[in-house]
Structure 1
Amino acid sequence: MLTRIRNAIQARHDSVMMPHSKMKLAVARILKEEGFIRDFDTPRIHLQYREGRQSAIAGLKRISKPGLRVYVGKGEIPRVYGGLGLAIVSTSRGVMAGRQAWRDGIGGELLCYVW
């Protein structure tokens, strides 16, 4: 999913198609709430651009991979770019932004960074 978004931003596409899964919908919901994408529906994510076709997403980095899962405790959730970026964490209460997981005092699997 992250690679498809990264490629669509490089090609200046307005939207990108995604296969459906609950995890991808949860990540898309967080990206919309944080203002990184304009909107999403089941198969498509609509990207957001600023003045001069500058993307709202400057970078995406996957952290936890199938070969090496990365877990963080409640006090170990990283701040991305000094709080300007976003860490997405999969917790026992669902997928949420790193700031929300830190406020709730729960840790989980660190999925990706977005800035």
Structure 2
Amino acid sequence: MKKETKEFIFEISYGATKYSALKVYIIVESKRIKKKYSTGACFHSELIALTKRLLKISTLSCCPFFKQFEHVETLAEQVHKSGFLPHRKRFDKFNPLTKRFIDFYYQGE
């Protein structure tokens, strides 16, 4: 499933483990970042990492994680302070995609 806005492309994709278990991935691409690099990826993770509890996602519009990107300045400040996944301490603190997002969208300091 894929959804585009003026600035971002949101995608939910599916894969399988070697044991045939379903894995769901969340991908966010920035059109602005893509102009400078060959890929615009600024976030990529398994769906299960977004929360402490299991989520059901039937459509892109019901994914609350994507709603954060409507206010990119606020999100960039939060990501600068604690990463995309603050409930998973140090999970993406040094992730190159997170750093690239901060470099493009964070206006502080």
Relative to the length of structure 2, the TM-score reads 0.30
The one of the two structures with greater contact order (alpha-carbon pairs below 8 A, sep at least 6) is 1
More helix by share: 2
Relative to the length of structure 1, the TM-score reads 0.29
More strand by share: 1
